[in-house]
Amino acid sequence: MRRLSVAGLLVVVSGGCAAAQPHGFAVASVKPHEGPLRQLGVYTEGSTLRSEGANLRMLVMFAWNVSNYRIVGAAPLINDGNTRWDVMAKAEDETKPSVNEFRAMLRSLLEQRFGLKSHAESRETDVYALVVAKGGPRLKASPEGEDRLWRMGPRNGGRNQWFTGTHIDVSELLSAIQVDRPLVDRTGLTGKYDVEFFYTPDTRAIRESPDVEDVSIFTAIERLGLKLEPQKAMLDFLVVDAAATPSAN
């Protein structure tokens, strides 16, 4: 079994009936999110992708595997954080797509239903480079044949953000790091790892447990034998040129 959980992500479109989908999805039920919100995120398991309560930016983040800070554009819907959708989509022939295959299918869905148009644009920008710290990485190599797991959520009464991943690569670790600028991988690490860490986001408002340790994301990453280093880099940004609220199925 393969399951992906990405906090803050979803899949998208208006209406509640099933519709045939080319490029991988046999059916996709999409509708506006009406609440209550039980579990925000994008989840894949077997042949199914489902999501709840995500806005378009969250969906684009998952579909293009791009961080929030690398999405730009003047299309109003991409900058609307309050309009949200639910989605349930199944792949053709009960296949079990990889995460990257699910991403490609979601891209097609967004382009079809939202009329989403985008292009890549290269810009020099401030980044954090993930590098190996002095002393080397402290990452546990994954056993052969281990199932992949990606999970992120609150910990310690909501005070800290917690991440655990099994059989993941560094690019997937990067997607769990939330900072105020884009990230680039300059570790040179190519293996699969089991990783667990927690940190206290700067925006965390809950301070219910004074005995709970506050840990910056920089400290959390250093505990893995890695480091976030300020640098400049030329990056491809995803520019969203157009997007519209989809009509009902």
Q: How many CB atoms lie within 10 A of CB 187?
A: 19
Q: How many CB atoms lie within 10 A of CB 148?
A: 18
Q: How many CB atoms lie within 10 A of CB 92?
A: 16
What's the mean pLDDT in 21-26? 61
Q: Which residue type is seen at 228?
A: L
Whether residue 158 sits in one domain with residue 98: no
Q: How many helices (H) and strands (E) in the chain? A: 4, 14
Q: Give the number of domains in the chain.
A: 2
Identify the domain containing residue 136 by its residue range.
124-234
Question: What count of Cα atoms within 13 Å lies in the side-chain half-sphere of residue 91?
Answer: 20
Q: Are 87 and 44 in contact (CB under 8 A)?
A: no
Q: What is the pLDDT of residue 49?
A: 86
Residue 44 lies in a domain: yes
Q: What is the pLDDT of residues 105-140, one digit of tens each?
A: 899 988 988 899 999 999 999 999 999 999 999 999
Q: What is the pTM of this model?
A: 0.60
Q: Which residue type is seen at 14?
A: S
Distance from CA of residue 130 to its chain's centroid? 18
pLDDT at 168 over 60: yes
Residue 243 lies in a domain: no
Question: What count of Cα atoms within 13 Å lies in the side-chain half-sphere of residue 134?
Answer: 0
Residue 100 lies in a domain: yes
pLDDT at 227 over 70: yes
